[in-house]
């Protein structure tokens, strides 16, 4: 069962340094615009980003690149700063990107032409004739509740932008292992929930929904995906799921 989670910082940038954290409301576009302004003040290039984060993204890049050879067209929905996509382009992969605002695209706009950058929401922002052999989301799914995610995955498959036989991928940054918590951890989680509910301590910004493997499989099936496969990257154990 998906569960809510909260954050107080991201990339070592405290949210309370630029916004009021909302425990009952997901971050909106204004929040992200302010965040990325702080982000680009702190970091000058992809090389400045945390080593661990880069390692996670490099494994995802390897998976996409291994599938996207032989001139296949790739679409990344919600690319953020576009690190994965910048590396894919350097490897000769034909990549188009979608992001809801222009703000995060400062670096990736140097690697991907305006003809392959789309600012807005999928699938509405894409021209009707645009089709891709691989469509993926990377650390995006957590912003959707279960019914919203089912609808979004259904659109990835059925919006008319996936080539016949094309592949769909989810790379998760909000996976949690079902049953992995000890009794002590569950008690701590319960106590924290009570403290937050009573308003004795702020949980942070409501960041999204964490999910188990069973959650992802059920959601993908409900969205009409077939040939579903899943697994974990070798080094960083990032959970991913693919289908058609």
- Ordered per-residue pLDDT tens for the chain, 244 residues: 799 999 999 999 999 999 999 999 999 999 999 999 999 999 999 999 999 999 999 999 999 999 998 889 999 999 999 999 999 999 999 999 999 999 999 999 999 999 999 999 999 999 999 999 999 999 999 999 999 999 999 999 999 999 999 999 999 999 999 865 555 555 555 445 544 454 546 799 999 999 999 999 999 999 999 999 999 999 999 999 999 9
Confidence at residue 198, expressed as pLDDT on a 0 to 100 scale: 44
Q: Could you tell me if residue 30 is inside a domain? A: yes
Q: Could you tell me if residue 199 is inside a domain? A: no
Q: Could you tell me if residue 196 is inside a domain? A: no
Q: Could you tell me if residue 126 is inside a domain? A: yes
Alpha-carbon span 244 to 228, nearest angstrom: 7
Q: Residue 10, exposed/middle/buried by CB under 10 A (0-12, 13-18, 19+)? A: middle
Q: Could you tell me if residue 143 is inside a domain? A: yes
Domain containing 139: what range?
3-177+205-243
Confidence at residue 233, expressed as pLDDT on a 0 to 100 scale: 98
Alpha-carbon span 47 to 167, nearest angstrom: 30
Alpha-carbon span 200 to 139, nearest angstrom: 31
Alpha-carbon span 87 to 77, nearest angstrom: 16
Confidence at residue 201, expressed as pLDDT on a 0 to 100 scale: 65
Site of tokens 């992969």:
93
**Residue 123, preceding peptide bond in cis (omega within 30° of 0):** yes
What's the CATH code of the domain at 142?
3.40.50.150
Q: Could you tell me if residue 195 is inside a domain? A: no
Q: Could you tell me if residue 136 is inside a domain? A: yes
User: By C-alpha distance, which of 98, 74, 222 is closest to 148?
Assistant: 222
Total domains in the fold of the chain = 1
Claim: this prediction has a pTM higher than 0.85: yes
Alpha-carbon span 166 to 186, nearest angstrom: 41
User: By C-alpha distance, which of 1, 52, 97 is closest to 238?
Assistant: 52
């Amino acid at each position: 069962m998906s569960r809510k989670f909260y954050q107080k910082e991201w990339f070592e940038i405290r949210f309370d340094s630029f916004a009021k954290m909302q425990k009952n409301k997901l971050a909106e576009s204004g929040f992200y615009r302010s965040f990325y302004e702080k982000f680009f003040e702190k970091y000058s290039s992809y090389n400045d980003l945390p080593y661990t984060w880069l390692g996670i993204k490099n494994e995802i890049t390897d998976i996409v690149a291994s599938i996207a050879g032989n001139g296949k067209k790739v679409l990344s929905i919600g690319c953020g700063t576009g690190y994965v996509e910048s590396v894919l382009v350097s490897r000769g992969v034909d990549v188009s990107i979608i992001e809801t605002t222009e703000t995060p695209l400062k670096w990736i706009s140097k690697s991907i032409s305006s003809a392959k950058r789309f600012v807005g929401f999928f699938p509405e922002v894409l021209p009707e004739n645009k089709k891709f052999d691989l469509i993926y989301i990377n650390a995006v799914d957590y912003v959707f509740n279960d019914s919203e995610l089912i609808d979004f995955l259904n659109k990835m498959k059925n919006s008319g932008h996936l080539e016949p036989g094309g592949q769909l991928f989810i790379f998760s940054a909000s996976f949690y292992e079902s049953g992995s918590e000890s009794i002590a951890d569950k008690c701590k989680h319960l106590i924290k929930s009570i403290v937050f509910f009573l308003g004795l301590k702020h949980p942070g910004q409501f960041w999204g929904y964490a999910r188990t493997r069973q959650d992802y499989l059920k959601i993908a099936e409900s969205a009409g995906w077939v040939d579903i496969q899943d697994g974990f990257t070798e080094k960083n154990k990032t959970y991913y799921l693919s289908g058609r």
